[in-house]
Amino acid sequence: MQKIKYLALVLSIVLFTQCELDHDDFQASSADVDFSHFVALGDSYTAGYTDGALGRSGQENGFSYILAKQLEYVGSEGYVQPLVQSSSSIGSAGNSYYQLKAANSSLSPVPGIGDQAIFAERVYDASNPVQNLGVPGAKSFHLLATAVSAEPLMYYSQANPFFGRFASSTETSIIADAVAQNPTFISLWIGNNDVLTYALAGGEADAVTPAEQYAQYLSVIASTLFANGTKGVIATIPDIETIPYINYILSNGFLPLVIEDDQVPGGIRQLVEGEKVLLPASTLLQAGYGQSAEMPLPAEYVLDLEEIQNIKTATIAYNQTIATIASQYNLALVDLNAVMNKAHTQGYIIDGNVYNSTFVSGGVFSLDGIHATGRGSAIIANEFIKAINHTYNCSIPYATVNEYSAVVYP
């Protein structure tokens, strides 16, 4: 009986473990796909943003860089990144990387002061153009944008300093800089911020990009990149409820908190089950907010049921558009919505380590509760590789997840 139990345990580990191949025993094959000049387009995930900021260490542990390294086994001739020249980092709020620090007998993520000089760096080289065209903060239409306002005239490279660092010119667009390189293989993962910036503001700022507009933008992007037969890979948008920033505080149940709501008489009400309290609210909750009518939790820290439904409806529509585009242009399709859902509900066992979406300790998400750790990025990169291998009959080796960075404990 003990032997049977032991055999069952071994089999369960084999079945639920993501295997990583030994490159010495693996025969890589491109199956006639030209990977020589790989270009990646997207947002902060593609850029290598992690722990709340962009810095060199994150760029060297980002999923697109990990994917590019694996593509070298099948003919890629390198991957130029707009590497941060500073030893520090910079986030959209002016902070540097979050770090775990002791506070009130526990460890909490604390940001440092970011290096603003990073935004003044000019890392474009016409003889060696940037292939990682991931831009933190970019929405779908930003890939196409040159000017973002007419009066006063402002170009996207001026409006978004992350892009301005490596844009080929002030007047260019992300997609123009991609096409100018004549890429032979392209990865495209765009649309997260079309719902996420609204979600991160508790539905009190910005807006969800209408599904019809997203479909129009993605159609133009895809036809520009893939109409001439260029091969590539495209990924779906994860459900926001799979990320710790959205689900961490109420992950273990429901709290009858008092929240602001200007849509009801008196402007306050109790939290309804199913609504989400955002990660930054943790500090306010510790200070007593949400415990009484005198100190309600501000609305920007809460996603109500209507806001959640708006986001979910848009995400489903976006992913239908992405699947249609993948089919239309014979692109490899990565279902990252399913991947993140599995990380949230089941987790992964990879080379003896457990990975899930639990904040800080889960291994997938970094200390900002939104972006991936290096190991989370390697898991994502391997999903891209799996899709490419399946669609194009290639044999690209997987990255070794445990070789990449995780949350650093003091």
- Provide the angle, in degrees to the nearest 10, between the axes of the packed helices 305-328 and 192-200: 170
Residue 9: per-residue pLDDT: 33
pLDDT at 8 exceeding the cut of 80:
no
- What the chain holds in terms of domains, given with CATH numbers, is 26-250+327-403 (3.40.50.1110)
| Pair of tokens at residue 410 | 């003091």
Q: End-to-end distance of the chain based on CA atoms, in angstroms?
A: 45
For residue 377, the model assigns a pLDDT of 98
Instruction: Supply the pLDDT for residue 330.
Output: 98
* 285 within 8 A of 319, measured Cβ to Cβ: no
> Looking at residue 253, what is its pLDDT?
72
Least confident of 22-36, 167-181, 223-237: 22-36
> Tokens representing 405?
């960075």
* % of the chain beyond a pLDDT of 70: 94
Give the DSSP H/E element, type plus range, for residue 95.
strand 95-103
> For the chain, what percentages of helix, strand and coil (3-state, to nearest 5) are there?
40, 20, 45
Beta-bridge partner residues of 42: 134, 189
Which tokens is 51 given?
């722990």
Angle 138-342-349 (CA atoms, 0-180°, nearest 5)?
115
Angle at 204 between CA 279 and CA 196, to 5 degrees: 55
Tell me what the mean pLDDT of segment 211-238 comes to: 98
How many C-alpha atoms does 303 have within 13 Å on its Cβ side? 25
pLDDT confidence tier of residue 25, bands split at 50, 70 and 90: low
* 390-399 pLDDT, tens digit each: 999 999 999 9
Give me 353's structure tokens.
Answer: 């380590």
What are the backbone angles phi and psi of residue 326, rounded to the nearest 5°? -60, -45
Query: Directed axis angle between helix 374-392 and helix 63-71, to 10°?
Result: 50
Is the per-residue pLDDT at 23 higher than 80? no
- pLDDT tens digits for 34-91? 999 999 999 999 999 999 999 999 999 999 999 999 999 999 999 999 999 999 999 9
pLDDT for res 4? 33
CA atoms 95, 101, 104, 106: torsion sign: positive
- The answer on pLDDT for 304 being more than 80 is yes
**What is the reported pLDDT for 310?**
97
Residue 174 clears pLDDT 90, i.e. is over it? yes
Spatial separation of the C-alpha atoms in residues 374 and 263, rounded to whole Å? 42
pLDDT band at 107 (very low <50, low <70, confident <90, very high): confident
- Tell me which of 17-31, 44-58, 329-343 is least confident: 17-31
Give the per-residue pLDDT at 254.
Answer: 75
The mean pLDDT of the chain is 92
Assess whether the previous peptide bond of 298 is cis (omega < 30° from 0). no
Sheet containing 185-189: give its strands across: 132-134, 38-42, 185-189, 231-235, 332-334
Stated pTM of the model: 0.92
Q: What is the dihedral of CA 319, 239, 79, 77, to 10 degrees?
A: -50
pLDDT at 21 over 90: no
Question: pLDDT of 116-166, one tens digit each?
Answer: 999 999 999 999 999 999 999 999 999 999 999 988 999 999 999 999 999
pLDDT score, position 134: 98
Q: Which of 4-8, 24-28, 241-245, 246-250 shows the lowest per-residue confidence on average (mean pLDDT)?
A: 4-8
For residue 206 the two structure tokens come to 């910005």
* Three-state secondary structure string covering 130-148: CCEEECCCCCHHHHCCCEE
> Tokens representing 190?
């765009």
